[in-house]
Amino acid sequence: MANPKRGEIDAVIGGETMTLCLTLGALAELEARLQAGDLNGLVERFAEGRISARDLTSILGAGLRGAGHAITDDDLARLAIEDGLKGAAEIAARLLRATFGGAEGGPS
């Protein structure tokens, strides 16, 4: 079960409820994978609202690995997510809000 105070969320992925968390290591992974440079670069990128399917896979994969799941982005990409792309985007948005906050200036 997710602990919101730790920035964790729960989501149904591949028919299974899984916990996601963007730990410091997961954020470092995202910085490198998305070539954001730093945390400000990540926040700016997400705040623009222009996120590709590959970005969604990277965000969800990093969040799953941050919560302890041994899953690759390729394996994640094969799993069904309820509501497809829209559902994946909603999970990513919830994860980013849990990590960075959803208040002024934070990604939505």
**pLDDT digits over 6-61, tens only?**
999 999 999 999 999 999 999 999 999 988 888 888 888 888 877 889 999 999 99
Q: Which of 72, 63, 76 is nearest to 23 (CA)?
A: 63
Q: Which of 65, 56, 66 is nearest to 94 (CA)?
A: 56
> pTM of this prediction?
0.87
Res 106: pLDDT: 38
The CA–CA distances, whole Å, from 45 to 52, 54, 91, 106, 108 equal: 11, 14, 17, 11, 11
